[in-house]
């Protein structure tokens, strides 16, 4: 049994940027030389999310519209120091989650046919970080 860690830097370009990181995570797994086990990815932020979803912009836009309906930008928020985009980003982050778990088999991430990993920017263009941890043998 071995453990491997790698930090991935992500530069987002706008609110609701869906940055696909499947290949980056798979690359970290390949560098680890671990073949079977489990892979964890964690976003180190409260105003972003890490999700498993299809690589389909219509699904992404539906998710954005859903979030906007749940926590409307024009609502009244107490955390208003940095504006409502920031306030709602915190809430969207808890609804979507900031970490994912993916099984690992024969050196490859075990994902469904349409499953991909996305870092979702919920605030503004920022330099972001994801920590990938691989545990296995």
Interface region with a copy of itself, contact rule CB under 8 A, candidates 8-16, 18-26, 59-67: 59-67
Tokens encoding 64: 């954005």
- The correct pick among 77, 83, 107, 124 for binding a copy of itself (CB under 8 A) is 77
Instruction: Decide: is 11 part of the binding site for a copy of itself (CB under 8 A).
Output: no
Q: Binding of a copy of itself at residue 78 (CB under 8 A)?
A: yes
Query: Environment class of residue 74 by beta-carbon count within 10 Å: exposed (0-12), middle (13-18) or buried (19+)?
Result: exposed
Q: How many CB atoms lie within 10 A of CB 125?
A: 12
- Alpha carbon distance 28, 37 (integer Å): 14
x/- letters, 91..130, toward a copy of itself (CB under 8 A): x-xxxxxxxxxxx-x----xxxxxx-------------x-
Which contiguous run of DSSP H or E holds residue 19? strand 18-20
**Closer of 15 and 51 to a copy of itself (Cβ):** 51
**CA-based nearest residue to 41, from 106, 95, 120:** 120
- Establish if 16 lies at the interface with a copy of itself (CB under 8 A): no
Q: Is 10 in the site for a copy of itself (CB under 8 A)?
A: no
Q: Name the minimum Å distance from CB 23 to a copy of itself.
A: 18
**Alpha carbons 98 and 44: distance in angstroms, whole number:** 8
Q: Does 38 bind a copy of itself (CB under 8 A)?
A: yes
């Amino acid at each position: 049994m071995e453990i491997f860690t790698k930090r991935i830097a992500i530069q987002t370009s706008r609110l609701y940027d869906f940055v696909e990181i499947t290949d980056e995570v798979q690359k970290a797994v390949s560098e680890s030389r671990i073949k079977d086990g489990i892979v964890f990815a964690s976003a180190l932020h409260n105003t972003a999310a890490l999700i498993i979803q299809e690589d389909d912009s219509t699904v992404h836009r539906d998710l954005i519209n859903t979030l906007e309906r749940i926590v409307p930008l024009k609502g009244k928020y107490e955390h208003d120091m940095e504006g409502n985009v920031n306030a709602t980003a915190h809430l969207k982050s808890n609804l979507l989650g900031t970490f994912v778990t993916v099984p690992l088999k024969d050196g490859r991430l075990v994902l469904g046919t349409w499953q991909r990993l996305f870092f979702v920017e919920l605030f503004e263009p920022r330099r972001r970080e994801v920590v990938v941890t691989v545990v296995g043998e």
